[in-house]
Amino acid sequence: MQFDSLSAFLEMGGYGFFVWLAFGVTLGAMILLVVQSSLDTKHLEKEIKDTHARKARMRAAAKEGL
């Protein structure tokens, strides 16, 4: 453990702003990338299911129509 207290850890020997800025932006960018990728997956899944459901409805409607 290199730091005596939490505040010393946050201060990073006077470089706190830069260190936390760098780590924060990195974390943010990585999270954004992951979130965007998983949202994309969800979106695609939804699209497949919606298409399937719509086709099922269309088939049902066609049957009733007959």
Partner 1 sequence: MWKWFSQYAKPEKAYQLCGTLFRWFWLPSLLLILVGTVWGLVFAPQDYQQGDSFRIIYIHVPSALLSMSAYVAMAVAALVGLVWQWRTAYMAMIAIAPVGAVMTFIALFTGAAWGKPMWGTWWIWDARLTSQLILLFLYLGVIALYSAFDDKQQGGKAAGIMALVGVVNIPIIHYSVEWWNTLHQGATITKFDKPSIAPEMLWPLLINLLGFALFVAAVSIKRMRNEIVRREIHRPWIKSLFLENEK
Distance CA 58, CA 51 (A): 10
Nearer to partner 1, 9 or 59 (CB): 9
Compute the distance between CA of residue 11 and CA of residue 65 in angstroms, rounded to an integer: 73
Query: Which tokens sit at 23?
Result: 């780590």
Site for partner 1 in 7-26 (CB under 8 A): 9, 12-15, 18-19, 21-23, 25-26
Give the footprint of partner 1 on this chain (CB under 8 A): 1-3, 9, 12-15, 18-19, 21-23, 25-26, 29-30, 32-34, 37-38, 40-41, 44-45, 47-49, 51-52
